[in-house]
Amino acid sequence: VTHARLRPASLATDGASVRIIDQRALPAALVERDLRTLDEVVDAIATLAVRGAPAIGVCAVAGVAVAMRGYAASSRAVFLRELDDVAARVTAVRPTAVNLAWAVARAVRRAHATDGDGGAILGALQAEAHAVEHDDVAMSRAIGQHALQLLDNPVRALTHCNTGALATAGGGTALAAIYAAHAAGRDVAVYATETRPLLQGARLTAWELQQAGVPVTVLADGAAASLLRLGTVTSVLVGADRIAANGDVANKIGTYALALAAATHGVPFYVLAPKSTVDADSADGRAIPIELRAREELARCGTVPILPDGVAVWNPAFDITPASLVTAIVTDSGVHRPPYRFADT
């Protein structure tokens, strides 16, 4: 398996299912599943079978197309009314990654702009689901190419969570830069935080990089500051779930601590994301909703209980890194530096 072959979510050619890689099974097994109902799509996104901001968007829009199949024979009015309900339900599953809302809104807009009854609008929704996936591949590629100018040779990058082929339809966001540098023949090695509590770094990033032949070393989240102090890391590369207009970044919990440590030790801190992750409606990080997840994720490691019964937990899935700690933001339109003017590009 190479990263080019990993498709975390994709509308099947017959339009009857969303074919996903069930990321919960990794690294033990590469399991593909077909989601055939709205409930299955909602559950897959909620339980992180499909996760990573752009991949969630691709999955959601394909899921909307699958869910609307049953209305192909309906009138235009009935179809569009049902579509709005389905779209609202999918969009609400995870609040922080704006790509989900962005991809679904894109499909809903196209549906409303399409003439005809249910059958015609369904065809447009399916085409949009394929287009979102296709565009995401191109965005990954562009991010990787733009990022090359920021990377040294050798590259010793520290990353967090999973931002690779499992998180997007293409090669990834932050990992797209790694893959681009590797493909360009640079000497690349990656440090991946394990990313508590759900271990996306250990389970997914380490697996993905190993498959691609990129050297990877995993460390506990709490070891990152000490690694940065050693002076061997050339840059920190992370993705984003939402970027506010001022450059504040929502990303996996622990990103903010990495940014603080990187600033203290003078290591450049780069955020890489498609432009669809930039939310012009969020003026700054305070406007970004942070998803709080279940106690269960901290109370167990796998299936093993690790917390005394009755002890409270605080489990935010994301944090906000202030723009002042970010060296540059790389999108598919190029390298952005403060003061940010994403709307101009």
Beta strand 334-336 with 278-279 is unpaired
Site string for ligand MRU, 207-236 (x = CB under 6 A): ------------------------------
Report how far apart, in Å, the C-alpha atoms of 102 and of each of 60, 86, 182, 216 are: 10, 15, 31, 33
Q: Does 321 bind ligand MRU (CB under 6 A)?
A: no
Look at strands 235-238 and 269-272 and give their pairing: parallel
Please spell the DSSP secondary structure of 203-261, one letter per residue.
Answer: IIIHHHHHHHT--EEEE-GGGHHHHHHHT---EEEE--SEEETTS-EEEETTHHHHHHH
Q: Cβ(27)–Cβ(203) under 8 Å?
A: yes
Q: Residue 15 interacts with ligand MRU (CB under 6 A)?
A: no
Judged by CB under 6 A, the residue of 143, 147, 155, 317 near ligand MRU is: 317
Q: Is 240 in the site for ligand MRU (CB under 6 A)?
A: yes
Catalytic residue among 241, 248, 279, 332: 241
Q: Which residues pair with 35 in a beta bridge?
A: 18
Exactly one of 9, 10, 18, 52 binds ligand MRU (CB under 6 A); which one?
Answer: 52
Is residue 200 near ligand MRU by the rule CB under 6 A? yes
Q: Which is nearer to ligand MRU, 163 or 276 (CB)?
A: 163
The three-state secondary structure class of 270 is: strand
Does 170 engage in binding with ligand MRU (CB under 6 A)? no
Give yes or no for residue 17 binding ligand MRU (CB under 6 A): no
241 is catalytic: yes
144 scored as a contact of ligand MRU (CB under 6 A):
no
| Nearest alpha carbon to residue 249 among 311, 173, 185, 148 | 173
Cα 66 from chain centroid (whole Å): 21
Residue 194 DSSP class = -
By CB under 6 A, is residue 118 in contact with ligand MRU?
no
C-beta of 211 vs 315, nearer to ligand MRU: 315
For residue 1, the Cα-to-chain-centroid distance in whole angstroms is 20
- DSSP states of 149-169: GG--SSEEEEE-S--STTTSS
Residues in the chain: 345
Of residues 59-98, those binding ligand MRU (CB under 6 A): 97
Does 161 participate in binding ligand MRU (rule CB under 6 A)? yes
Q: Rule CB under 6 A: is residue 278 a binding residue for ligand MRU? A: no
| C-alpha–C-alpha distance, residues 303 and 258, integer Å | 28
Q: Under the criterion CB under 6 A, does residue 241 sit at the interface with ligand MRU?
A: yes
The full DSSP string for 130-147 is HHHHHHHHHHHHHHHHHH
Cβ 111 to ligand MRU, closest distance in Å?
26
Q: Which of 163, 193, 235, 282 binds ligand MRU (CB under 6 A)?
A: 163
Binding piece for ligand MRU, criterion CB under 6 A, among 46-54, 76-84, 114-122, 280-288:
46-54
Candidates 17, 140, 173, 321; binder of ligand MRU (CB under 6 A) is 173
**Under rule CB under 6 A, residue 51 binds ligand MRU:** yes
Active site residues: 241
Q: Which residues bind ligand MRU (CB under 6 A)?
A: 48, 51-54, 97, 161, 163, 167-168, 173, 200, 239-241, 251-252, 317
